[in-house]
Amino acid sequence: MFSRALLVTRKRRPYITPVYIHPEETGLAEKVITIYEKGKPKGDIDEETLSLETHSTFRVVRGLSELMRRRTHFEESYTVNPQKVRTYLYEKGFVTSEEERTSLLLKASKEFDVPVEGIETSFWADREDYQIVASIDDIPASDLVRYYNLSLTQTLLFDALSLEFTTSGNYQEIFRMIKFLGLMYEIQSEGDNFSVRVTGPASLFKKTKKYGTSLAKLVPKIMKAPSWKIKAQIETEVAGEPRIYIFELSDSKKEFFPDVLEDTEQFDSAVEEHFVKRFSSLRKDWEIKREPTILKAGPSVMIPDFSLERRGKRCYVEIVGFWTPEYIEKKIKKIQNLNQKILLCVNKELQCTRRDFKENADVILYDKEVPMKPVLERIRKIELEQLQEEKGKLSLTDIELTEDVTLLRNIAQVHNVGVETAKEILQTSDTGIVVGDTFVKNSVLEEIQKRLENLEDMRLSSVKNVLDEYGLNEDVLGKLGFEIEWKTLDLENAVVKKVQSGLE
């Protein structure tokens, strides 16, 4: 993006468009690139750039140079600390002739033990104009032109009052950026296509151009889609009077822009980031996805912030951090038309209550972060529904157990159900029992029981050796009528005793 002073446009009412450079027209870009050389002072670069400017090209030259400057690393270069050199020379007083100047420089040369040239080059070396080029990120002239065109587009959108766009993909990146930038949006479906209107925070209080910079940051994400169209209303002054023009752009001009756009910003809403981290740590059996899909909601569509998913069950979550009554009303209407479970998490600072929403809207109010308890309560309801469904499915299935001891998670994986489902079904089995996270056949239990009853050394360490042969731990002992007697914390002093009949 550039400052507005570098924007070059062409107006033909009702349209306005930046004056783009064709990527094959690289003459001016090549001249600008050659100015940037390793070891050259910044002041010299500015002077050479100025010499390239003409009345008709000065904005273009400065724009291209600005892009090159962003790709250039400058650093200070001196043999003596500049501040010390200046202090030393200033303390010697004024010089009134070339001879006095030369004499003073020679004294400074001896004082700092460097050549006179080192004193002269170090004198202002810490000033910006004297910084030198340390390194440059090389770029072909054609690509520099493409980034120039992109920056022109973004700069024009500084004065955007509204923005509409359509894309054929890259939804997740686009809407993550929209959310990060704090923009509100509406999506309308037109057959299989979707049109997005960015309403922006400007509609919250009064008309303002502040969010134009946010729209500008959104453009690279839109352009990463396979196909796209942009339409914006641009407010600009003509003869001192504000006028509104239309700006339109599509992928038909994609050759004018970079093929691989540089990342604009790394982002994450603090509220959303905390929500993801906390939920993921509490419910590891659920997968959380950001902006997972586009949901149809009657004639419109909705893109939720998150989906919480587990074995085909899904709950969508929308976190609302800003709103207008009209915006929320539209949001609720969409929710009413959804066939999906969705949680609407609304910031308390928005001065709204549950009464502001329809009765069937599932609303969670939050302060600084979304509370996990009500979220987990809703998730648990889904889990219980899923448990009943899976139990009904698994009860009609012949569970084939070829192993004497089988992990419940393996059974659950084979039948595509949860471990909890497998556990509840197998607890009613006549062929064995559930011990911890395993199912053990009766024949194995009887064998273990007999071995323990005939075992002379009943120290826990010896009993564990027997259980290890079957892949079991001491949890099975209670099922067999044994218990552990701890005399000390030392494993060698713990013994296993028979207290009841067990399987008999």
Dihedrals phi, psi of 363, to nearest 5 degrees: -110, 135
* SS3 call for 381: helix
Q: What are 488's two structure tokens?
A: 């000390």
Mean pLDDT of the residues in the chain: 83
State residue 35's pLDDT score: 93
Q: Which of 213, 165, 157 is nearest to 188 (CA)?
A: 165
Question: 270-384 maps to which CATH number?
Answer: 3.40.1350
Q: Is residue 478 over pLDDT 80?
A: yes
Query: In whole angstroms, what is the distance from residue 235 CA to residue 245 CA?
Result: 6
Query: In whole angstroms, what is the distance from residue 145 CA to residue 151 CA?
Result: 10
pLDDT, average across residues 275-297: 85
Q: What are 139's two structure tokens?
A: 């770029």
pLDDT, average across residues 344-366: 72
Contacts of 480 (CB under 8 A, 6+ apart): 445, 448, 449, 452, 502, 503
Contacts of 120 (CB under 8 A, 6+ apart): 105
Query: In whole angstroms, what is the distance from residue 217 CA to residue 255 CA?
Result: 20
- How is the chain split among helix, strand and coil, in percent rounded to 5? 45, 20, 35
State residue 189's pLDDT score: 65
Sign, Cα dihedral of 212, 214, 220, 221: negative
Q: Which pTM does this prediction carry?
A: 0.55
| Domain regions of the chain by residue span | 4-71+139-162+204-256, 78-124, 270-384, 398-504
**Alpha carbon 312 to chain centroid, angstroms:** 25
Query: In whole angstroms, what is the distance from residue 411 CA to residue 154 CA?
Result: 56
- Under a CB-based contact definition with an 8 Å cutoff, are residues 96 and 54 in contact? no
Contacts of 430 (CB under 8 A, 6+ apart): none
Strands (E), 92-211: 132-136, 160-167, 185-190, 193-198
State residue 358's pLDDT score: 57
Looking at the DSSP bridge assignments, the partners of residue 166 are: 195, 229
What does the pLDDT look like over 393-449, one tens digit per residue? Answer: 888 788 888 888 888 888 888 888 888 888 888 888 888 889 888 999 999 899 998
Looking at the DSSP bridge assignments, the partners of residue 482 are: 498
Query: In whole angstroms, what is the distance from residue 413 CA to residue 409 CA?
Result: 6
State residue 323's pLDDT score: 64
What does the pLDDT look like over 153-189, one tens digit per residue? Answer: 999 998 888 899 998 878 778 887 887 887 888 877 6
Query: In whole angstroms, what is the distance from residue 383 CA to residue 319 CA?
Result: 22
Dihedrals phi, psi of 78, to nearest 5 degrees: -160, 160
Q: If you write DSSP's letter for every residue of 177-229 in order, what string do you get?
A: HHHHTT--EEEEEETTEEEEEE--THHHHS--STTHHHHHHHHHHHHTSSSEE
User: In which band, very low, low, confident or very high, does the pLDDT at 351 lie, cut at 50, 70 and 90?
Assistant: low
Q: Which residue has the tokens 């010390």?
A: 84
Q: Which of 469, 409, 399 is nearest to 431 (CA)?
A: 399
Query: In whole angstroms, what is the distance from residue 54 CA to residue 361 CA?
Result: 62
CA distances from 280 to 179, 264, 498 (A): 21, 27, 43
pLDDT, average across residues 239-265: 82
- Under a CB-based contact definition with an 8 Å cutoff, are residues 276 and 45 in contact? no
Query: In whole angstroms, what is the distance from residue 39 CA to residue 47 CA?
Result: 15
162: left (phi over 0), alpha (psi -120 to 50) or beta: beta
Cα R_g (the chain), whole angstroms: 36
What does the pLDDT look like over 103-162, one tens digit per residue? Answer: 877 877 777 788 877 777 777 666 777 788 889 999 999 999 999 999 999 999 988 888
* SS3 call for 236: strand
